[in-house]
Chain A
Amino acid sequence: MCDNEKEEAANLKEEFEWVLREEVHAILHQLHTVLVECAHRFPVPLYGNEGQKQDKFILTSQPEQLKCIVTLTGDSITHADISFKVLRQMHTICRTSINQDGPWKLQQIQDAANHLQQAIGYIDNVDKHYVFRSSEEVLHIIQCLIGSLQRARTALVLPKKKAIDELMKSRNMKALSPNLPEDLAISFYIQSHKLIFVAYQLSSVHGTMRIDSCQADCAVPWLSDVLFMLTAALHMCQQLKDKLCVFSQYKDFTVGSRSASMVFN
């Protein structure tokens, strides 16, 4: 190696130590702030958040196909008045409701909140004065964080697909009063920043089952904030990861591998 390269390597090493000593903690602190802020937007008890906020939404579809007035308390729909026109029998209107005794639970919210809680936990586990000694240590934490944040985001953005009979048998459906006829089903779920309501109708055409559906949605303000902050946090993690990966070509870089005289100059 010529002198220039040696100098460059020495400088890089110094920078690497600085990243481990200062930058990692600074970024983790920043991440913590973002994630706690995110947790506080959730309407459920989460990380010092009192929780159980209540929101009211009206979901309708044009032309007056269905209408639904929803009260969202925490992660459950505690009250809803639902009415929708049964397809191909334009004059029949089906009505049902959700009440306090049998709330409709939106598992997606709880899942996202739990993943977020776990992510904050990973940062809490790192002592503020801890001295990182290798990039592997940090990368492991970042990898765990990215995993949790991605799962939290996915929980809200990509609702799990369910078979129709699974939906029909679900506890949520059974709590409706009055119960729906056997060929009808409804579902509530979150998709990105929206709460979505779908009514399904099953029919048998020439022996094959056919499912018709119509849906309505409405924007949930806190969901957009949460998604924005999750994405921002993910990006911060990714940047820190990329930064550390730049040093990975120098595998012998660990804190203390440099001669003592060069530290802090």
Chain B
Amino acid sequence: MPGTNLIVPVVLWGKHAPTHCVSSVYLSRDQKTLVTGCYDGQICIWQVDPDNLKMTPRCLLVGHTAPVTCLSRASIIQDNNFIVSSSEAGEMCTWDLVDGKCRESVKLSQIHTNIQAYHMCNSEDLRLFCNGYYAEILIMDPFSLEILFSLSSKMNPDWISALHVLRPSSRKDDVVLAISITGTVKVWSLLGHENKQSEPIYENESKQIRCLNALSLNCCAYNQRTVLIVCAKYCQIYDAGDFSVLCSIQAPSGERWMSGDFLAPDRVLVCSTEGKGYLYRLPANSVPDHKGFHGPTVDHDSPVLFGLLAHPDNKLLSCPPAMRFVITSVGGKQRRLLLRGDSAGVVSAWNVDDAAVPNPRSMPTHAPIVMTSLDIAWEDMNPSPVGILDQLHHPDEQEIKLTASIYLLAANRLVVGREDGSIVIVNATHTVQLQLLHGNHQQLDDWPPHQLLLGHNGRVNCLLYPHHVHQRYDKSHLVSGGIDFAVCLWDLFSGSLLHRFCVHAGEITQLIVPPHNCSPRIQKCICSVASDHSVTLLSLTERKCVTLASRHLFPVLAIKWRPADDFMVVGCSDGTVFVWQMETGHVDRVLHGMIAEEVLAACDEALADDLGGSLSTGSSDGLANPAVHFFRGLRHRNLTAMRAATQRGLAALQHSGPAGNAGPLAEPARARRAQLTVQGFRSNPAAMRAATQRGLAALQHSGPAGNAGPLAEPARARRAQLTVQGFRSNPADPESHILFFDIEGLIVELLSEEYSAMSPASLEAAGLITSEYMKVAALTQSASPDATKRISGILAKMKEGAENMQTKLQAKAEQLKGHGDAKGRCSFRCRVAA
């Protein structure tokens, strides 16, 4: 998307670190960047000090909708800062680690469980060798994320459970060694000229061994003669020559093996599900240089445990941690580390070389050399990261967590629901000012004033301001849903509770607005979804439930509409689709399988047609913010558009009073946009892909998220100078808030405000008077026919001014940031790659 670099997101994280249950971990070779992926789909980038491995969280990348299972580097070049991530939903992204942008993304039908980045002969850069829930090995390009070619099996084709690519020392070609889940070992030789058009590439050799569901396979890097295969219950050393078992190591009781690698020809490191690393010395028959190699197992010569890498406290984990053995090189010095990221978000590293020397007398336990977590990083900050409503928190009381929020654009007010059931309404600019800027206002008590709505018993889960979505709704109506099963209707202006709908049998998870072309009765309704999988249409004018749709056995994933047929189409997590008649509340049909998918997709098409029509009319006569049109014109060198926009903008300024928010004209187009994404809901893969492709990184609420789809944000942000969006990484977390500052909008706003405030005399006194000003003045008074000539002058000036302002703002931002760092404010940014 062009021009969006002018939107600056700033995150107010609040006192609590986001939940980060680590599912995968990666450390760059130069030891400067650590990356952790988590079960909620976010990726955290940590800045690492190469000398002491001190880690500081730097960025949170949002985009995946499922657990991040694989992380891999993208290039052989040391300072190339790209990584590839892959999730359990089949999404793959290439991220720029420097600015956190998503450079490329795809959604594959094949889901990877493991990726090995490997530099093939005859290729310029790395290739990704992927295996997973499919019967082939896919070779992908890390930057285009295209499948270059695949490797197939002739013998017992089945899923590949582990693979290892290597180049035998005596040969020029690359060899892929892999094992299928049923225990067939396969070998492919690659010459480097394989491509998609070539005939299927089959394995050169295969052998059935007794090894089911292998988890990892590694060929010894030192002699390329022995292979370590790890299964949950045991790990085994094989002779690569004939694939016979040389020795076997049982997993400790109560633990299962996860992965392993060679440290030396006679030493291995194996990791367990309890997050421990076990160091073993192999018996003589498993060491190729030894004369007893490949001999029978000798009784007194079995694998010897000589070291244990473990956490000293051994805290309870709720799931197996992610562990990875990495070899880094800093200043030409090689270093071998074992990384671990666990369910509590704790990241730790052991220096393997310290522990790799066998001690015949004792079996020492080694503690990690570094251990940190987001929680620790948060605690270390003094003062702690600001939240958007910190003024309401008294130091001696327990903090009330913020659980839902929406931003009312037209009124510039922020509505925040909290854990105790209260809803706070406050002026957004003021509360932001209070948290971010220093000044006298910070000394004021009870500033800014806020409104408190009390009515929910327990956490407020979601908020909706229906008038935002469509003008047919009453301007004063605000709707909230809570953990107390109730949907409350509020009068925004008086702060009174108008009605409490108690129709659901579970906490309310989501509130949505039905499309504008429904029947008149349904148009007055809002739609609410609850954790008992029920959906209702609640009439705000009749104050009663019009339709209760409560036969769903599985959680509701998507709600779509067929207004013309009076249908509400509910998609459930098991793939079933319920078609409800809105007016009568009858189930029209229940669909499964392919047909269900098709019906859901058809709703999108109908909506897109509808939307396309209304959008095109909306942009021609609805007239969005002139600033947007102006810059759009500037971008496309469209002089007519620029002229029209400038004229309109200047004209508007002459009439409007205190500026600050986008004109009401901007509303309809934006509102429709939001509607589309709301219907796209949480797990709409198409919407998600479209968003990530735009580099937007979806910002999906992975849990029962409350309000309007976050996808709507950029569209909205471009029409207002400030927008506030709630964000959380896990449904159990309190909300953080992202502030989107539209620099374009701000510049235009500030410049024109300045122009209008200055009289010609004051301008002259300041030495600023130019013919440009006269041109502006002339323009705003009369659109003379020779405006075309003048406008170019203004344009130059405006552009220059804009650039100056941008640099200034940037400097200011940097200054602020530096200041923030000094004060321990969140240098940890959230990246909404725009």
A and B associate in one complex = yes
Is there an interface contact between A115 and B133, defined as CB atoms closer than 8 Å?
yes
Contact of A127 with B254 at beta-carbon distance under 8 Å, contacts A110-B135, A114-B181 already known: yes
Interchain CA distance A135-B452 in the complex, whole Å: 34
Q: Mark A224-264, 1 if CB is under 8 A from B, else 0.
A: 00000001001100100010010011010000000000000
Is A221 interfacial (CB-CB < 8 Å)? Answer: no
Is there an interface contact between A140 and B594, defined as CB atoms closer than 8 Å?
no
Q: Mark B472-510, 1 if CB is under 8 A from A, else 0.
A: 000000000001000000000000000000000000000
Interchain CA distance A242-B507 in the complex, whole Å: 11
Is B539 interfacial (CB-CB < 8 Å)? Answer: no
Is there an interface contact between B574 and A234, defined as CB atoms closer than 8 Å?
yes
* Contact partner, A134, options B181, B256, B316, B593, Cβ 8 Å: B316
Chain A residues whose C-beta falls within 8 Å of the C-beta of B574 in the assembled complex: 150, 153, 231, 234-235
State which of B151-159, B647-655, B759-767, B805-813 sits at the interface with chain A.
B151-159
Contact of A121 with B213 at beta-carbon distance under 8 Å, contacts A115-B133, A137-B318, A171-B152 already known: yes
Chain A residues whose C-beta falls within 8 Å of the C-beta of B573 in the assembled complex: 150, 238
Chain A residues whose C-beta falls within 8 Å of the C-beta of B109 in the assembled complex: 160
Residue of B nearest to A159 (CB): B594
Q: How far is the CB of A249 from chain B (nearest CB, A)?
A: 6
Chain B residues whose C-beta falls within 8 Å of the C-beta of A158 in the assembled complex: 575, 593-594, 597
Q: How far is the CB of A165 from chain B (nearest CB, A)?
A: 11
Is there an interface contact between A238 and B158, defined as CB atoms closer than 8 Å?
no
Is there an interface contact between B318 and A238, defined as CB atoms closer than 8 Å?
no
Is there an interface contact between B158 and A234, defined as CB atoms closer than 8 Å?
no
Interchain CA distance A160-B272 in the complex, whole Å: 36
Q: How far is the CB of A234 from chain B (nearest CB, A)?
A: 6
Q: Mark A145-160, 1 if CB is under 8 A from B, else 0.
A: 0010011011001111
Interchain CA distance A245-B181 in the complex, whole Å: 34
Interchain CA distance A159-B109 in the complex, whole Å: 11
Of the listed residues A114, A127, A143, the one surrounded by the most CB atoms of chain B closer than 10 A to its CB is A114
Is A265 interfacial (CB-CB < 8 Å)? Answer: no
* Contact partner, B732, options A140, A159, A191, A248, Cβ 8 Å: A248
Is there an interface contact between B594 and A134, defined as CB atoms closer than 8 Å?
no
Interchain CA distance A231-B316 in the complex, whole Å: 33
Is A37 interfacial (CB-CB < 8 Å)? Answer: no
Interface residues of B in 581-596 (CB under 8 A from A): 592-594
Q: How far is the CB of B158 from chain A (nearest CB, A)?
A: 6
Q: How far is the CB of A264 from chain B (nearest CB, A)?
A: 22
Interchain CA distance A133-B254 in the complex, whole Å: 15
Contact of A242 with B594 at beta-carbon distance under 8 Å, contacts A127-B254, A150-B574 already known: no
Is A105 interfacial (CB-CB < 8 Å)? Answer: yes
Chain B residues whose C-beta falls within 8 Å of the C-beta of A55 in the assembled complex: none
Chain B residues whose C-beta falls within 8 Å of the C-beta of A249 in the assembled complex: 458-459, 483
Is there an interface contact between B133 and A192, defined as CB atoms closer than 8 Å?
no
Interchain CA distance A248-B39 in the complex, whole Å: 18
Size range of the chain B interface in the assembly:
35 or more
Interchain CA distance A248-B509 in the complex, whole Å: 14
Residue of A nearest to B202 (CB): A171
Chain B residues whose C-beta falls within 8 Å of the C-beta of A117 in the assembled complex: 181, 213
Chain A residues whose C-beta falls within 8 Å of the C-beta of B818 in the assembled complex: none
Q: How far is the CB of A102 from chain B (nearest CB, A)?
A: 11
Contact of A133 with B316 at beta-carbon distance under 8 Å, contacts A115-B133, A151-B133, A234-B574 already known: yes
Residue of B nearest to A135 (CB): B318
Is there an interface contact between A107 and B135, defined as CB atoms closer than 8 Å?
yes
* Contact partner, B575, options A107, A153, A191, Cβ 8 Å: A153
Is there an interface contact between B593 and A105, defined as CB atoms closer than 8 Å?
no
Interchain CA distance A153-B554 in the complex, whole Å: 15
Size range of the chain A interface in the assembly:
35 or more
Residue of A nearest to B532 (CB): A242
Interface residues of B in 545-597 (CB under 8 A from A): 553-555, 573-575, 592-594, 597
Interface residues of A in 90-141 (CB under 8 A from B): 105, 107, 110-111, 114-115, 117, 121, 125, 127, 133-134, 136-137, 139-140
Interchain CA distance A115-B319 in the complex, whole Å: 20
Interface residues of B in 250-273 (CB under 8 A from A): 254, 256
Interchain CA distance A121-B732 in the complex, whole Å: 28
Is B232 interfacial (CB-CB < 8 Å)? Answer: yes
Chain A residues whose C-beta falls within 8 Å of the C-beta of B459 in the assembled complex: 249
Interchain CA distance A143-B574 in the complex, whole Å: 13
Q: How far is the CB of B723 from chain A (nearest CB, A)?
A: 31
Chain A residues whose C-beta falls within 8 Å of the C-beta of B256 in the assembled complex: 125
Interchain CA distance A238-B575 in the complex, whole Å: 14
Is there an interface contact between A245 and B531, defined as CB atoms closer than 8 Å?
yes
Q: Mark B132-166, 1 if CB is under 8 A from A, else 0.
A: 01110000000000000000100001110000000
Is there an interface contact between B592 and A157, defined as CB atoms closer than 8 Å?
yes
Is there an interface contact between B555 and A238, defined as CB atoms closer than 8 Å?
yes
Residue of A nearest to B731 (CB): A248
Chain A residues whose C-beta falls within 8 Å of the C-beta of B594 in the assembled complex: 157-159, 191-192
Q: How far is the CB of B178 from chain A (nearest CB, A)?
A: 16
Is B292 interfacial (CB-CB < 8 Å)? Answer: no
Is there an interface contact between B593 and A191, defined as CB atoms closer than 8 Å?
yes
Q: Mark B308-321, 1 if CB is under 8 A from A, else 0.
A: 00000000101100
Chain B residues whose C-beta falls within 8 Å of the C-beta of A143 in the assembled complex: 39
Chain A residues whose C-beta falls within 8 Å of the C-beta of B553 in the assembled complex: 235, 238
Interface residues of B in 312-339 (CB under 8 A from A): 316, 318-319
Residue of B nearest to A238 (CB): B554
Chain B residues whose C-beta falls within 8 Å of the C-beta of A231 in the assembled complex: 574
Residue of A nearest to B254 (CB): A127
Interface residues of B in 207-244 (CB under 8 A from A): 213, 232
Q: How far is the CB of A188 from chain B (nearest CB, A)?
A: 16
Interchain CA distance A238-B593 in the complex, whole Å: 19
Residue of A nearest to B109 (CB): A160
Is there an interface contact between A251 and B732, defined as CB atoms closer than 8 Å?
yes
Interchain CA distance A12-B432 in the complex, whole Å: 40
Q: How far is the CB of A12 from chain B (nearest CB, A)?
A: 14
Chain A residues whose C-beta falls within 8 Å of the C-beta of B319 in the assembled complex: 136-137, 140
Q: How far is the CB of B183 from chain A (nearest CB, A)?
A: 12
Residue of B nearest to A230 (CB): B574
Contact of A136 with B555 at beta-carbon distance under 8 Å, contacts A114-B133, A114-B159 already known: no
Interchain CA distance A158-B133 in the complex, whole Å: 15
Interchain CA distance A255-B394 in the complex, whole Å: 32
Interchain CA distance A125-B37 in the complex, whole Å: 24
Is B88 interfacial (CB-CB < 8 Å)? Answer: yes
Interchain CA distance A134-B319 in the complex, whole Å: 11
Chain B residues whose C-beta falls within 8 Å of the C-beta of A191 in the assembled complex: 593-594
Residue of B nearest to A138 (CB): B318
Is B536 interfacial (CB-CB < 8 Å)? Answer: no
Interface residues of A in 13-72 (CB under 8 A from B): none
Interchain CA distance A17-B642 in the complex, whole Å: 67
Interchain CA distance A121-B343 in the complex, whole Å: 21
Q: How far is the CB of A160 from chain B (nearest CB, A)?
A: 5
Interchain CA distance A136-B731 in the complex, whole Å: 13
Interchain CA distance A133-B318 in the complex, whole Å: 9
Interchain CA distance A249-B109 in the complex, whole Å: 36
Chain B residues whose C-beta falls within 8 Å of the C-beta of A121 in the assembled complex: 213
Is B168 interfacial (CB-CB < 8 Å)? Answer: no
Chain A residues whose C-beta falls within 8 Å of the C-beta of B318 in the assembled complex: 134, 136-137, 139-140
Is there an interface contact between B157 and A105, defined as CB atoms closer than 8 Å?
yes
Is there an interface contact between B593 and A157, defined as CB atoms closer than 8 Å?
yes
Interface residues of A in 150-209 (CB under 8 A from B): 150-151, 153-154, 157-160, 171, 191-192
Q: How far is the CB of B37 from chain A (nearest CB, A)?
A: 16
Q: What 3 A-B pairs come out closest when comparing CB atoms?
A: A136-B318, A140-B319, A157-B593
A residues with CB within 8 A of B = 105, 107, 110-111, 114-115, 117, 121, 125, 127, 133-134, 136-137, 139-140, 143, 147, 150-151, 153-154, 157-160, 171, 191-192, 231, 234-235, 238, 242, 245, 248-249, 251
Additional A-B contacts beyond A136-B318, A231-B574, A238-B555 (12; CB < 8 A): A110-B135, A111-B133, A111-B159, A117-B181, A134-B318, A140-B39, A140-B319, A147-B88, A150-B575, A234-B554, A235-B554, A249-B483
A-B contact pairs, 6 of them (CB 8 A): A140-B319, A192-B592, A192-B594, A234-B574, A235-B574, A249-B483
